[in-house]
Structure 1
Amino acid sequence: MSNAGTQIDQPPLSFENAPESDSELRKRLAIETIITQREEVAYAIMEQLSTTHFSECMQETMEATQRRLMFIWPVVKFENPELYTFLQKSTVGTLFALPWYLTWFGHSLNSYKSVVRLYDYFLASPIYTPIFVTAAILLYRSNEILKEDCDMASVHCLLSRLPEDLPFEELLKTSSTLFNKYSLTVIEKDVDEMIRNENEQRKAEEKRILERRKKTSRPVTASKSLGLIQWLPNVLTSKSVLVTTAVSIVVGVCAYYYKNQYLAAGIS
């Protein structure tokens, strides 16, 4: 793909020095190459970005990136509490936004013009601007989102498919407004509180599950023991009755037999 108006899929380009495990880096390199028309320029750009804008994405784990994506939620909460509550209730998480953040929307948009405009905007903006663009998109689509079923599968499916007619110029203006309106310090504090609450809820849920298991296992053991205690005397009683009856029958038969023998001997 080299001309404006064509579509971006995953360009069949090979970069020997790109980490084999980082497919998203390859996509960014491919997009930069497409935009600049020069592979060496793309490498130079990506080398610089890998130590600035994408430094968190280049770490061994995705923990820092996942935490950064959570910065979306405070912005949405401050601007549209109803939408925030809905998204949290759906437990959709931030996975839908991961390719947006890793590739600056290059992996998710088909419009060459939109991708180039976004790259131009991100290169000229502070590092975390893609977070605010993501929040702007969610806020713009709020009515559509709130009409969806409030479950993870439905909401994730809706959010992960970006409409082709998004008004990006309007969204970029909204993003800049949001960035200037909310400081990263305030947002980070809110995220830290969210993480603490989630950890506490998870621990409380694990404790409830453990207690429920204990309560469930105790009656079962007690009932089994009680049943055994009740069953054992019954078995012993039944066996005693059976033995007593059998002995009585044998004694009766023997008495009858010997009586007949004695009578026969007396008669003879």
Structure 2
Amino acid sequence: MYSLDVNFLKDRAGYEVTEKKATQLQMPAGDLTPLFVGLGVGLAIPIFLGAGWWFLEARNNQLTQDIAQLEAENKRLEVEIGNINAIREETQRVKAETQGLVTVFDQIRPWSAMLQDFRDRIPSSVQINTIRQIEPTAPGRGQASTNREGAIEVTGLARSFNDVNDFVLTLQQSQFLQSTSTRIATATLVDAPLPPWANQSGVEEIKLPQVVQYTIQSNVSDIPASDSNLIRELEQKGAVGLVSRIRNMQRIGVISK
């Protein structure tokens, strides 16, 4: 006998939808490469982002350490710069003191050398009574002072006015005096002074010829003592100590030759 199997479920509306959903969830039976590629890309992105974050964090830490080292180096350099500036200031102070000392040596005019120069230049017919240094005179309005070293005044007696003129001419050639300022301040005829023994009793009155009483003024030369001509003159006049000091300073470079 034949039997009929009738499936009434297929005739229901819900059966077809359920079958379609089951069909959609099935894995494709073809090539799975796109699926694996997508999965790999999905995994690679978080890994890449994590590696980038780790690299940036490590780089940030390194930069922080570099900044700290640079700040420490900057502080050390600031201390060294301060020390260098202090050394520079001390060097400038020493240079200023050295220059002041050089100026003092350059302005020195030993009296022994100057007196020897006068002895070498005075004519035999001229007598020196006094040599003194006087304060420099104040310059006139609008004039510069040319007498920083002071002035020299020489007084004495001479046989004639010509002898006084000759003495002035020889003094104008001196390295110790300014030739342009060497001049006769006064020159007058006076009675010659009597020698001490002429006032003794029993000696007849002696009448001596008149002589010229003079005053010569001049400014001290402002040529530096380290000048080659003046240093040679100082050496010839016996100022060996000053010459030795100046040459030692020239040797070490404090004074230029």
TM-score of the pair, normalised by structure 2: 0.27
Q: Which has the higher helix share?
A: 1
Q: Which has the higher strand share?
A: 2
